[in-house]
Homo-oligomer: A and B are copies of this chain.
Amino acid sequence: MDSPVTLACELLRPLPFGSSAAESESVNGGSPRYVLKARGPASASPVAPYQALPVQGPVVEEERLPGITHHLTPALPVLEREDATRKEMDARIRQVIANYTQKLAERTQHHLGYPYNLDFDFTPLEGLQRFSINNLGDPFIESNYGVHSREFEIGVLQWFARLWEIDQDEYWGYITNCGTEGNLHGILVGRENLPDGILYASRETHYSVFKAARMYRMDAERIDTLASGEVDYDHLRARLATNATRPAIININVGTTVKGAVDDLDRVLAILAETGYSEERFYVHCDGALFGLMIPFVKRAPLVTFRKPIGSVSVSGHKFIGAPVPCGVVITRQRYVEALSSDVEYLNSRDATIMGSRNGHAPIYMWYTLTRKGYEGMRKDVERCLRNAHLLKAMLERAGVRVMLNELSSTVVFERPTEEAFVRKWQLACQDDIAHVVVMPNVTLSKLEGFVADLIASRARATTTAALRIAADARAIRDDELRGASDDDC
């Protein structure tokens, strides 16, 4: 078997551009899958809700998903001035912020569970915090409000249009507040173009996709998944065939939330053709939250490109790129978005975004990072992430931890640690009996070494605790028996 490092390097596409779409056709076929043997039933939750799950101990069935629990988070009330002088108030505020900053630094240091690149330095942009930068409305049409950053926004959109191979005069898009907004937008564009369409998405799809279906009053089909986390192609084919009279709006996961699984776009497009859906009867939205920005650099991955009949792609900006604020990009075809923007009766506006006011700082963060890193820097980040993910997997295996890593992913899935304090310390996202580490550009090898050492110690403690409990139970039973015997003696 190849070493993790060779394996990771082999996965990399040499150049993000110029690689023909054809190159990506022969993908994913015979490549080995590393499947975690689940403890107990392989109970993948219907969707992947981990973002909103509270900090909690091992899942107890009746505790899962109760109604909203109020105020579990401690509050920091707005300070009342009362008799304090302005100077005293400022000192109190400074103290609050200083304590909070310290907490953030510690939490940032011990973070492995979410796909956020926490390694960024936007010092040269600090002066911009003085301004209320707002790209309200359409990115391509200047509003009268002059304090905007549309020039940066369009620069970034052009970069992505190039990445996903769509001509400058054929795309429309904008910088969103997060991956969810990208999904909400993509699916809305799909529905407006195919009003009677049924939404298809796999059970391991991010929950925002099913949230969209509910918001938009769409019929939705929840498709089974393979053990890897990919959509179950046979089940998808069967559902498409059954519903053949109605158009299809399909969500493709370019990296699922929990397992980092990549649905095979080419295979899904082939299934659509087989089941008799012509191009004007389907709309494919690609949810590329994290991996949408890594995949163009990965050789064997199914290429996401507008040269294929897809409708939209969304990706997060605070994930692989990294930013102080959540943000993202959605790109669709100009001709599709006209279904949203031409309906004067309802919208009477050229705003085809979901939000009206839009954070104008986000495009500048993205522009800055893309400019500083360039394609080559991004490629190197992807390389380091994949290499470190393979190394983490190897280390965990060596430590006797059951582990899975999808070939094209930097999301390392492993059995959920039993110590809750450990889960919280490393901010691991857990679902059912699995946890994951998402290896991002800020996750260094030495941090991973520290994590594995800590995990081994945690498991040892947990094993010791379990052993002691068994011994204590045995002792209690024996004592009971002894007492019983001596009672009998009485």
By a beta-carbon cutoff of 8 Å, the part of chain A in contact with chain B is 45-47, 49-55, 65, 67-81, 89-90, 93-94, 97, 100-101, 104-105, 107-108, 110-111, 113-114, 116-118, 120-122, 124-134, 136-147, 149-156, 158-159, 168-169, 172, 177-181, 184, 188, 206-208, 210-211, 213-217, 220, 316, 318, 322-326, 334, 337-338, 341-352, 354-361, 367-368, 370-372, 374, 376, 423-424, 427-430
Contacts and interface: CB of A to CB of B under 8 A. Distances in A.
Given A144-B427, A151-B73, A326-B358, A348 B89 contact: no
Nearest to A86: B372
B144 A113 contact: yes
A54 to B, nearest CB: 4
Contact of A143 (B53, B70, B75, B371): B53
A68 B152 contact: no
Nearest to A213: B346
Contact of A172 (B68, B97, B127, B210): B68
B322 A78 contact: no
Contacts of A55: 142-144
A23 to B, nearest CB: 24
Given A71-B154, A118-B131, A178-B357, 12 more contacts: A50-B144, A54-B141, A67-B338, A68-B337, A80-B374, A93-B368, A104-B128, A114-B144, A132-B322, A132-B325, A207-B351, A211-B349
Contacts of A169: 70-71
Given A72-B140, A350-B68, A146 B334 contact: no
A52 B351 contact: yes
Contacts of A151: 73-76
Contacts of A350: 49, 52-54, 65, 68-69
A430 B144 CA distance: 9
Contacts of A372: 89-90, 93
A269 to B, nearest CB: 27
A132 B113 contact: no
A207 B65 contact: no
Question: How many monomers of this protein are in the complex?
Answer: 2
Contacts of A114: 144-145
A348 B69 contact: no
A442 to B, nearest CB: 10
A187 to B, nearest CB: 10
Contact of A423 (B50, B68, B144, B150): B144
A370 B78 contact: yes
Nearest to A377: B81
Contact of A214 (B107, B147, B214, B343): B343
Contacts of A89: 371-372
B152 A346 contact: no
Contact of A71 (B140, B217, B346, B370): B140
Contacts of A359: 177, 325-326, 359
Contacts of A117: 132
24 contacts: A46-B345, A47-B348, A49-B348, A52-B136, A52-B350, A52-B356, A53-B143, A68-B338, A69-B141, A72-B142, A73-B141, A73-B150, A79-B371, A81-B374, A126-B126, A132-B322, A132-B325, A144-B424, A146-B427, A177-B355, A208-B356, A215-B215, A216-B216, A326-B357
A287 to B, nearest CB: 12
A154 B52 contact: no
Nearest to A122: B129
A52 B137 contact: yes
Nearest to A177: B177
Contacts of A354: 180, 184
Contacts of A146: 107, 110-111, 424, 427
